[in-house]
Chains A and B, each alone.
Chain A
Amino acid sequence: MNKDMMLGSEAVALGVKLSRPKVISAYPITPQTHIIEKLSEMVDGGELDASFIRVESELSAISAALGASQAGVRAFTATSSHGLALMHEILHWIAGSRLPVVLVNANRAIGSPWNIWTDQSDSMSQRDLGWMQVYCETAQEALDTVLQAFYVAEKVLLPIMVMIDGFILSHTLEEVIIPSQEQADKFLPPYKPEYFLDVDNPLSFGNAAKGDVFYHLREDMQCSMEASFGVIREAHNRFDEAFGRKYDFVEGYCLDDAEIVFVIAGALTGTIRVAVDKLRDLGIKAGLLKIRYFRPFPADIIKELLKTKEHVIVLNRSVSFGSAGQLTQEVKNALYYEPNKPNIYDYILSLGGKDVFVEDIVNLAKDVGNLKTSKMLWRE
């Protein structure tokens, strides 16, 4: 088995290379830059047979990906933070066009004030577009998820955003098992769209549509999101067969007998795992539920896993100001009809890269009796 040490960004680039995209368009932004530097090297060095378009903004990066995907080839882009925000209009258009573009977002705070460090405000602000969203914990997961993303997007005909935490995943060395191109090709067949720009079969894409048509196109997007659960499950099974690594919509850790459960998405999960171990050493029945897929949101799965728990502390790294953390909203939504639902705490853990220590999490669980469910909780 071929293994190497690499940055999370490099693992993403490797996953992209193994997916054989034909067009990559990108604009640099910290902390995404390593991804596109690596991909540029691969393209210039002849390792990856793709066009790399060095555009003049993120708006153009996502627009070029839109054009390439509509032309019928596999298209990829990567960004962060303000770059993702600048893409917003086209992210809508790509979802509405039902194009399977894959985008990797290195999660970073959005200003003002300037802040280059990680939180999930950038991608959470894009949750309602019709893009699927996956949050990764490790470099291996990032590589594997990129391959899965193309498979799922091309079957569901909706785009996917794959999230890696800026710096704590993008810029951190981890050991990664490197799949062979043969394995990857076996898992991910060539992209063969049914409808695309073709001078021999001239079609119009995106023509004005009145309400009665438009409404049902949107309903169809929701139907596809619902149907995507089956496709994602199939992708995970096929991935396990091809590579021997198991993935799911969510991942539990010490969950079965847990009384206090932390819910988290992204690379900070690693810190929470250590905290759970420490709490177990202290005799406190803690566990964690890592959310991988945020869109589609696996509410039924989460409901089954959490409905008998006593305390659920949702660790958000983003806020919907005036409401709650976005992750909390979803967890509450999933448990709404349960008669004996747990106490659900809306905790805002880390924004703009504010450090999180294992002790913070341990103390949070120890102090659970004093936490309030009625208000948003912020750290001292």
Chain B
Amino acid sequence: MDFREVTNIEYMNQGDFACPGCGAGLSMRHALKVLGDKTLIVMPASCWSIISGVFPTAALQVPLMHVPFATAAAVASGVKNAFRKKGQEDVNVVCWAGDGGTFDIGLQALSGAAERKEDIIYVCYDNEAYMNTGIQRSSATPPGAWTTTTPTGNPLIYEKKDMFNIVVSHNPAYVATATIAYPDDFYQKFEKAKNAKGFRFIHLLSACPPGWRIDSKDSVKTMRLAVESGVFVLMEKEQGKPTKVTYKPDRFVPIKEYLLSQGRYKHLDKDTINKLQIMINEHLASLGLL
């Protein structure tokens, strides 16, 4: 599937509450184009709890259920089992959660649902901090990044949690990383997730202009740089097959370019940037990309 095959139908209304340049808003719009109208969303506390609109407005044209922070995967399990009992197994039950609701407070419910092979699609839009509450560190915040709770930078020993492999260790139907900055790759992965049966997980890198201290117009560019520099690797794992990198730049851009394009890294000195480059290189080497 590529962009020419994607529907012109919009499942997201105009006038949502996303900030200009929000990666999470853009991601939802395009994900729903692939998932279609036989989809419903289970949404834990996150920026999207607000983006989706304040009563009596609603941003989505598919059913949406807001749920408390730690519970998305468990609620979705209940929803899916109920739909199975109602004879409506073909409905896509999708958790749409931020990094806080996935990496941190929602991890236990996520692990439980993955282990039980619940037939749901779990999407994490990762903007790398608690952005809705005003940019506090999460376990998805990269080393070095400024947040309001890491005012001098996230300690380098706090390596970003490896959600991809944490989910892979449950042997689910499908796991992928993606970003809307690479739309064809994004569409293909949502289509694979939609067509697979069992537990499916997509980790989206999702730029946050206020939190990353970037201009709204640079949102897609910054997500693109994350991939081109090797900070975020586009990959997938189908059950029974090895992990596959779905996009590899001809030559990785130095991480410095990615970091210094964002205000959240502007305090970093040369030595720290070098250390971060070494960490990225080690990660890329472990994937056989360097």
CB distance from B109 to the nearest CB of A (A): 5
Please choose the segment from A180-188, A205-213, A314-322, A324-332 that sits at the chain B interface, where 4 or more of its residues have CB less than 8 A away. Answer: A205-213
Interface string of A74-90 (1 = CB under 8 A from B): 01000000000000011
CB distance from A218 to the nearest CB of B (A): 14
Interface status of A1 (Cβ within 8 A of chain B): no
What is the total of A-B residue contacts with beta carbons within 8 Å?
159
In the complex with contacts A66-B67, A213-B55, A199-B38 CB distance below 8 A: yes
Interface string of A18-33 (1 = CB under 8 A from B): 0000110100000000
Selected from B62, B75, B82, B111, the residue in CB contact (under 8 A) with A63 is: B75
- Is B66 a contact partner of A68 (Cβ separation < 8 A)? no
Interface string of B50-84 (1 = CB under 8 A from A): 10111101101111111110110111111111111
- Is B85 a contact partner of A199 (Cβ separation < 8 A)? no
Which A residues are in CB contact (< 8 Å) with B42? 67
Interface status of B145 (Cβ within 8 A of chain A): no
Interface status of B245 (Cβ within 8 A of chain A): no
In the complex with contacts A60-B109, A63-B109, A197-B79 CB distance below 8 A: yes
In chain A, residues 195-235, which have Cβ atoms closer than 8 Å to a Cβ of chain B? 197-199, 201-210, 213
In the complex with contacts A64-B75, A209-B54, A73-B85 CB distance below 8 A: yes
Nearest A residue to B109 via CB reads A60
In the complex with contacts A51-B84, A70-B79, A93-B68, A204-B63 CB distance below 8 A: yes
- Is A22 a contact partner of B49 (Cβ separation < 8 A)? no
- Is A54 a contact partner of B81 (Cβ separation < 8 A)? no
Which A residues are in CB contact (< 8 Å) with B91? 199
Interface status of A255 (Cβ within 8 A of chain B): no
Interface status of B241 (Cβ within 8 A of chain A): no
Nearest B residue to A51 via CB reads B81
- Is B74 a contact partner of A71 (Cβ separation < 8 A)? no
Nearest A residue to B70 via CB reads A59
- Is A67 a contact partner of B112 (Cβ separation < 8 A)? no
Selected from A65, A209, A210, the residue in CB contact (under 8 A) with B78 is: A65
- Is B62 a contact partner of A199 (Cβ separation < 8 A)? yes
- Is B74 a contact partner of A67 (Cβ separation < 8 A)? yes
- Is B38 a contact partner of A55 (Cβ separation < 8 A)? no
Nearest A residue to B17 via CB reads A208
Interface status of B108 (Cβ within 8 A of chain A): yes
In chain B, residues 22-64, which have Cβ atoms closer than 8 Å to a Cβ of chain A? 37-40, 42, 49-50, 52-55, 57-58, 60-64
- Is A64 a contact partner of B58 (Cβ separation < 8 A)? no
- Is B86 a contact partner of A204 (Cβ separation < 8 A)? no
Which B residues are in CB contact (< 8 Å) with A60? 71, 73-74, 77, 108-109, 112
Interface status of B116 (Cβ within 8 A of chain A): yes
Which bucket holds chain B's interface residue count? 35 or more
In the complex with contacts A90-B71, A197-B63, A204-B63, A55-B79 CB distance below 8 A: no
- Is B63 a contact partner of A64 (Cβ separation < 8 A)? no
**What's the Cα separation between A90 and B74 when bound, in Å?**
11
Which A residues are in CB contact (< 8 Å) with B37? 199, 202
Which bucket holds chain A's interface residue count? 35 or more
Residue among B79, B88, B108 with max Cβ neighbours from chain A (10 Å)? B79
- Is B74 a contact partner of A63 (Cβ separation < 8 A)? yes
CB distance from A36 to the nearest CB of B (A): 15
Nearest B residue to A67 via CB reads B78
Interface status of A237 (Cβ within 8 A of chain B): no
**What's the Cα separation between A204 and B52 when bound, in Å?**
9
In the complex with contacts A56-B111, A63-B109, A203-B63, A90-B68 CB distance below 8 A: yes
- Is A207 a contact partner of B58 (Cβ separation < 8 A)? yes
CB distance from B108 to the nearest CB of A (A): 6
Selected from B62, B66, B71, B78, the residue in CB contact (under 8 A) with A53 is: B78
**What's the Cα separation between A55 and B74 when bound, in Å?**
8
- Is B78 a contact partner of A206 (Cβ separation < 8 A)? no
Which A residues are in CB contact (< 8 Å) with B49? 208
- Is B74 a contact partner of A64 (Cβ separation < 8 A)? yes
In the complex with contacts A68-B78, A68-B81, A72-B86, A204-B64 CB distance below 8 A: yes
- Is B76 a contact partner of A67 (Cβ separation < 8 A)? yes
- Is B78 a contact partner of A22 (Cβ separation < 8 A)? no
Which A residues are in CB contact (< 8 Å) with B73? 60
- Is B74 a contact partner of A59 (Cβ separation < 8 A)? yes
**What's the Cα separation between A209 and B80 when bound, in Å?**
27
Nearest A residue to B78 via CB reads A67
- Is B61 a contact partner of A67 (Cβ separation < 8 A)? no
**What's the Cα separation between A198 and B79 when bound, in Å?**
11
Which B residues are in CB contact (< 8 Å) with A68? 78-79, 81-82
**What's the Cα separation between A75 and B78 when bound, in Å?**
9
Which A residues are in CB contact (< 8 Å) with B83? 71
CB distance from B259 to the nearest CB of A (A): 35
Interface string of A84-102 (1 = CB under 8 A from B): 0000011001000000000
- Is B86 a contact partner of A71 (Cβ separation < 8 A)? yes
Which A residues are in CB contact (< 8 Å) with B79? 67-68, 70-71, 197
Interface status of A146 (Cβ within 8 A of chain B): no
**What's the Cα separation between A65 and B76 when bound, in Å?**
10
- Is A22 a contact partner of B66 (Cβ separation < 8 A)? no
Which B residues are in CB contact (< 8 Å) with A55? 74, 77, 112
Nearest 6 pairs between A and B by C-beta?
A67-B78, A206-B66, A64-B78, A56-B112, A71-B82, A60-B74
* 17 A-B contact pairs sorted by A residue (CB < 8 Å): A49-B85, A51-B84, A59-B74, A60-B112, A63-B78, A64-B75, A73-B85, A199-B40, A202-B61, A203-B63, A203-B64, A204-B63, A204-B64, A207-B53, A207-B57, A207-B58, A208-B49
- Which A residues are closer than 8 A to B by beta carbons? 22-23, 25, 49-51, 53-57, 59-61, 63-73, 75, 89-90, 93, 197-199, 201-210, 213
Known: A55-B112, A72-B86, A207-B54. 12 other contacts (CB 8 A): A22-B81, A51-B82, A56-B109, A60-B74, A73-B82, A199-B40, A199-B88, A202-B60, A206-B66, A207-B64, A207-B66, A210-B55
- Which B residues are closer than 8 A to A by beta carbons? 37-40, 42, 49-50, 52-55, 57-58, 60-68, 70-71, 73-86, 88, 91, 108-109, 111-112, 115-116
